[in-house]
Amino acid sequence: MTLAVLQHHLPVLVVLMPLLGGLLVAIIRHPAASWPIAIAAAAASLAGALALSREVAANGVISYALGGFPSELGIEYRVDAVNVLILVVVSFMALATLVFARLSVASEIDEGRQPWFYTMMLVATAGLLGMAVTGDAFNAFVFLEISSLATYTLIALGRDRRALVAAYQYLIVGTIGATFYVIGVGLLYLATGTLNLELIAERLPEVTSPRALLAAEAFILVGIALKLALFPLHAWLPNAYTYAPSAATVLLASTATKVAVYLLARYIFGIFGLHREFGDISGASLLILLSLAAMFLASAAAIFQNDVKRLLAFSSIGQIGYITLGIAIANSDALTGAFLHIANHAVLKGAAFMAIGAILYRCGSERLDDLAGIGRAMPVTGAVLTIAGLALIGVPGTSGFVSKWYLVAGAFDAGKGWLALMIVASSFLAVLYVGRIMEIVWFRPPGRVALAAAEAPGGLLVPMVALATLTVLLGIAAYWPAEMAHSAAEALLGVRP
Amino acid sequence: MAETLLLAPFWPLVVGSLAVAFTRGALQNLVSVAAPLLALVLVWTVPEGSATVSWLGMTLTPVAPDATARVFGTAFAFAAIAGAIFALDQKSTAERAAVLLYAAAAQGVVFAGDLLTLFVFWEVMAIGSTLVIFANGAARAGIRYALMHAFGGVLLFAGIAASMGSGGLALRAFSADSTASLLILAGVLVNAGAPPVSAWVADAYPRASWSGAVFLSAFTTKAAVAVLIRLFPGESMLVPIGLVMAVYGMVYALIENDIRRVLSYSIVGQVGFMVVAVGIGTPLALGAATAHAFVHILYKSLLMMAAGTVLRATGTARLTALGGLARSMPLVTAAMILGGLALAALPLTAGFVSKSAIMQALAEDKAATAWFLLTAVSAGSLLYAGLRLPWFAMLRPKVDPVAAAPVPVTMFAAMALVGAAILAIGFVPSLLTSLVPAIADVAVLTPDHILFQIMLLVAAAICFVMLLAILAPRAAITLDADWLWRVAPAMIGHRASAAWRAARLALIPASDAARQENRLLARAWVRMTSDAGNWRTGDIALAATALLGIVLLIAAL
């Protein structure tokens, strides 16, 4: 195979690499072989995603017909400025998580189950990448199910028995979401006779009965909202994140909800045109309302948590609120902010959950009270947690500031100054919950747990320090990600093809 | 010009902060003093010209040296040097690293050349100062302080974002007539300690360690004054705000018991003088505000050092517990008296120079109300700082004064350094007027001036003797506006739940029902807070269905 052929098949290879890697791990099922294979698969996928991003930047949209069938009949993979960003984020975070996973998984999961864990990590990654890369509504459902099923397994592998309940609840809720989605896709198919998203958008104006379309819209959006944990459909998330193994939490928190958000944006802007065609009490207002509720109520709940993982999980729900708010405001700046925050939040929350994973590795506890003075025993881990916390607040010099800056600018641009005030006001709640962690980690006298602890081993430190460094870099040298997010926003708004 | 950026005064302090965090012992001591020294050198050597950096399509000017920046930078660097010498015996590495970061941010704020850079340093300053308070183990006070500054930062950030449309990020004189400029003004005033949130100063600063408070008293509020000079010169709204601050600060300083709380209230009062001068807005007034900020940093540092030394030596800073220390701590007593007299603007101290300038600016602008009020407050400041503090803390006879442990000689060296600066400016006012040319024409050491000031101070001293009984410190908590956010929420909560319980019992005598209701309330609270997210699966499905219905309804309409 020459390089050019490889290049041509890149859109599918990005998804196939982790899928085949997962298969290989499951066949070999040897604890020592699992990790290298997983790393190789994720690295290959990331390389593919980066190559795609270069190609998209140079040549615009890439359309790939799976199996050579034309898009009316077959499945089209379609890579543009929007999803290439998602591909890079997901494959990068998958690689970082897998680097982190080696020691973390070894300490948290029975040896016999470790290969299965890596298999599921890779399958989940493949599913998420597939959801992002596909241009076919039903194919997206298939990948959604692939990633979800793998995720249920990952959560159930948690060391706590409560993980089983959390996984079971997520399974029920996720299935409801997927069912809603597929009902909506079915209705769209009835109305337009195609499953290809581009063709659906083309044929929509000819549809005579708008009823089916409206129902399709409601089912699809609510289905996706369940997957992305939009308030008030967030309740599955805290327990799932809390009781899953550390590495699984890192992957889920930084990728799973983000891909669902992408799908939401794709449907809203590509198909339904929420921002254009709705009346006065528009869907956009509802989305704004729910986003604000997430930003305030979920962040407020985070303040009262006694388990750090759970605290960060609630913070995730709040942060997703910022992203959906950017989508609801729907102008260039706000969407740039939303897509930047997808990337920035993935990196910073990944760093935060890795730090908690490292603390769990050393101390066997993630209760907030047990973390008293842990910063002195584990200064690097504490510093990573601090940087991630500052970015959550949106302190200048961290990536969180840049995304908030764009969101606020977008809100002012849309003539919604009060929304801008809400965005900055909600940082207050972040100050409270991050301040609480910081005070306990750095300024409390070391407790029993902290006195027995030592700094995390290098295998855990390297990925989390890398992500923390990236959080700072993305806050200072923000040009490249901002440009990518800006292209994504323009592409969604139809300014660019 | 790249060298403008590279030679910015905040660099040695940032690097120093990191270096202090990772060194111990003599090297740490060396770094903590050398960093602010180098910063002082750079304050004067950083070349004019604006180094611009392009960031996300915006042009930033991280460093824009001008005369105002250099004066404030000098005062900040000097305070940092003296403070670092004073804190040489501070064992907390966290605090020593935090104060340098804090000092770096303060330099960054005054040298910033655009609004975004200003905001960035503004936030770093808030973080640095919060760490100083945290480092003393004052967690709750630290969180309250952080929230207050996050609030100010939020207002400032929103204002800057809103003002982007008209004039971009350039530092310019705003007038408080649009939402954007009002937000910026409000954000800056929070840091200046303006009403209604003045109470954060006295709530937070006394929670810092004996050395931390020295740094806290120097930077945040004065950096806010520097920003006001840049962004709101001549904003008439500032005159009444400043007057309220001046009176408020004096009144609370007169009745407060803890020395460092007295000094914190006094900061608000003295910053009030500067805010009034900024509101007048003439070149002389702006120069006077700058000069007064400079001098205030000097004498407030000296007073905070004296208070810190007393606290360190005796373990308390409450006036009721102190007294009779003049014999065991003569140098500290002298420092406290000198600082207090400088605050009261006694001739031949630095305070006389800058306060004369402010008064002349008010007189030239014919701001009669402000002139009379500030003259009265000035006399009052002799009462609390020049007389009440030294008398009750040190001089008054006491049968069994608290034991004073010996303190390191470096603390005295720092006080001597600052005291010498105060006297030098007092005797040779041109030292200060050459820094701030706008006030060069103010006649300071003329007989009529001196006579007037001395008459004022003598009158105040007579008042003090007559009111001695009233001014005696009491071991009580003075009520301030911070009650509203510290105590009121919890109290309202308690009262409301008690009232609810009483109402339940009155309406339904059966205590079972009341108990059940209480349990329901408690359960609802737990469900909303620590137990949030523990929904039944059916409830999640119900929520999804409800949302589906709403979306369908919206779509159908």
My answer on whether A142 and A177 are in the same domain is yes
Task: Examine the pLDDT at B521 and tell me if it is beyond 90.
Answer: no
Work out the number of other CB atoms within 10 angstroms of the CB of residue A445.
10
Buried b (16+ CB within 10 A) or exposed e, A54-66: ebbeeeebbebbb
Task: Examine the pLDDT at A281 and tell me if it is beyond 50.
Answer: no
* pLDDT score for B1: 60
Q: Which B residues in the span 378-397 are in contact with A, Cβ-Cβ below 8 Å? A: none
Closest partner CB to A304 (pick from B147, B530, B541) = B530
My answer on whether A144 and A2 are in the same domain is yes
Distance from the Cα of B352 to chain A's closest Cα (Å) equals 40
Q: Does the CB of A226 have a partner CB in chain B at under 8 Å?
A: yes
Q: Chain A to chain B, count of Cβ pairs less than 8 Å apart? A: 147
Q: How far apart are CA B208 and CA B206, in angstroms?
A: 5
Closest partner CB to B551 (pick from A218, A301, A304) = A218
* pLDDT score for A103: 93
Q: How far apart are CA B99 and CA B124, in angstroms?
A: 11
Helices (H) and strands (E) counted in chain B, each on its own, are: 26, 2
My answer on whether A358 and A242 are in the same domain is no
Task: Examine the pLDDT at B475 and tell me if it is beyond 80.
Answer: no
Q: How far apart are CA B16 and CA A51, in angstroms?
A: 42
Does the distance separating the beta carbons of A283 and B551 come in below 8 Å? yes
My answer on whether A343 and A484 are in the same domain is yes
Looking at A272, A305, A321, the residue that finishes a domain is A272
Distance from the Cα of B6 to chain A's closest Cα (Å) equals 17
* pLDDT score for A444: 84
- Alpha-helical runs (H) found in A193-245: 197-203, 210-227, 236-243
Q: Does the CB of B60 have a partner CB in chain A at under 8 Å?
A: no
Instruction: Confirm whether pTM is higher than 0.90.
Output: no
Q: Which A residues in the span 438-497 are in contact with B, Cβ-Cβ below 8 Å? A: 438-439, 442-444, 478-479, 482
- B203 close to B144: Cβ distance less than 8 angstroms: yes
* pLDDT score for A280: 41
Q: How far apart are CA A269 and CA A490, in angstroms?
A: 11
Q: Which B residues in the span 95-134 are in contact with A, Cβ-Cβ below 8 Å? A: 119-120, 123-124, 127, 134
Where does the pLDDT of residue A495 fall: very low under 50, low under 70, confident under 90, or very high at 90 and above? low
My answer on whether A190 and A207 are in the same domain is yes
Judge if ipTM > 0.90. Answer: no
How does DSSP classify residue A196? Answer: B
User: Into how many domains does chain A fold?
Assistant: 2
Q: Does the CB of B402 have a partner CB in chain A at under 8 Å?
A: no
Instruction: Write the Ramachandran bin of B474: left for phi over 0, alpha for psi from -120 to 50, otherwise beta.
Output: beta
- B81 close to B12: Cβ distance less than 8 angstroms: no
Q: What is the DSSP string of A119-154?
A: HHHHHHHHHHHHHHHB-BHHHHHHHHHHHHHHHHHH
On chain A, the residues whose CB falls within 8 A of the CB of B143 are 432, 435-436, 439
Closest alpha carbon within chain B to A168:
B537
Closest alpha carbon within chain A to B160:
A409
Q: Does the CB of A393 have a partner CB in chain B at under 8 Å?
A: yes
Orientation angle between helical segments B259-280 and B368-381, nearest 10 degrees? 160
Closest partner CB to A435 (pick from B120, B143, B529) = B143
Looking at A252, A272, A292, the residue that finishes a domain is A272
- A74 close to A64: Cβ distance less than 8 angstroms: no
Mean pLDDT of all residues belonging to chain A: 90
Domain that holds residue A344: 279-497
* pLDDT score for B330: 92
Least confident of A224-228, A337-341, B405-409, B441-445: B441-445
Closest partner CB to A439 (pick from B139, B162, B551) = B139
Task: Examine the pLDDT at A496 and tell me if it is beyond 60.
Answer: no
What does the pLDDT average to over A418-427? 87
Q: Determine the 3-state secondary structure of A167 from DSSP.
A: helix
My answer on whether A235 and A290 are in the same domain is no
Q: Does the CB of A180 have a partner CB in chain B at under 8 Å?
A: yes
Where does the pLDDT of residue A285 fall: very low under 50, low under 70, confident under 90, or very high at 90 and above? confident
Where does the pLDDT of residue A275 fall: very low under 50, low under 70, confident under 90, or very high at 90 and above? very low
Domain ranges across chain B: 1-230, 233-486, 487-556
Looking at A233, A252, A272, the residue that finishes a domain is A272
My answer on whether A195 and A83 are in the same domain is yes
Task: Examine the pLDDT at B464 and tell me if it is beyond 90.
Answer: no
CB within 8 Å of B357: residues ≥ 6 apart: B284, B287, B288, B291, B292, B439, B442, B444
Burial of B424 (0-12, 13-18, 19+ CB in 10 A): middle
* pLDDT score for A248: 95
Least confident of B213-222, B276-285, B298-307, B483-492: B483-492
Task: Examine the pLDDT at A332 and tell me if it is beyond 80.
Answer: yes
Q: What is the DSSP string of B257-300?
A: -BHHHHHHHHHHHHHHHHHHHHHH--HHHHHHHHHHHHHHHHHH
My answer on whether A260 and A288 are in the same domain is no
Buried b (16+ CB within 10 A) or exposed e, A108-120: bbeeeebbbbbbb
Percent of chain B past pLDDT 90, that is, above it, reads: 53
Peptide bond before residue A457 is cis, with ω within 30 degrees of 0: no
Q: Does the CB of A378 have a partner CB in chain B at under 8 Å?
A: no
Closest partner CB to A424 (pick from B158, B532, B543) = B158
Q: Which A residues in the span 134-173 are in contact with B, Cβ-Cβ below 8 Å? A: 169, 172-173
Q: How far apart are CA A181 and CA A216, in angstroms?
A: 8
Task: Examine the pLDDT at A401 and tell me if it is beyond 70.
Answer: yes
Distance from the Cα of A173 to chain B's closest Cα (Å) equals 7
In the structure encoding, which two tokens stand for residue A355, read together? 């730090």
Q: Which amino acid appears at position A421 of this protein? A: L
Pick from B120, B220, B112: nearest CA to B171: B112
Mean pLDDT of all residues belonging to chain B: 89
Q: Which A residues in the span 408-427 are in contact with B, Cβ-Cβ below 8 Å? A: 408-409, 412, 417, 420-421, 424-425, 427
My answer on whether A241 and A298 are in the same domain is no
Q: How far apart are CA A376 and CA A354, in angstroms?
A: 18
- A354 close to A467: Cβ distance less than 8 angstroms: yes
CB within 8 Å of A397: residues ≥ 6 apart: A390, A472, A475, A476, B120, B124
Task: Examine the pLDDT at A65 and tell me if it is beyond 50.
Answer: yes
Does the distance separating the beta carbons of A237 and B547 come in below 8 Å? no
* pLDDT score for B513: 58
Tell me the CB-side half-sphere exposure of residue A308, using CA atoms within 13 A.
Answer: 31
Task: Examine the pLDDT at A1 and tell me if it is beyond 60.
Answer: no
* pLDDT score for B268: 95
Q: For Cα atoms B228, B229, B232, give the angle at the middle one, nearest 5 degrees.
A: 60
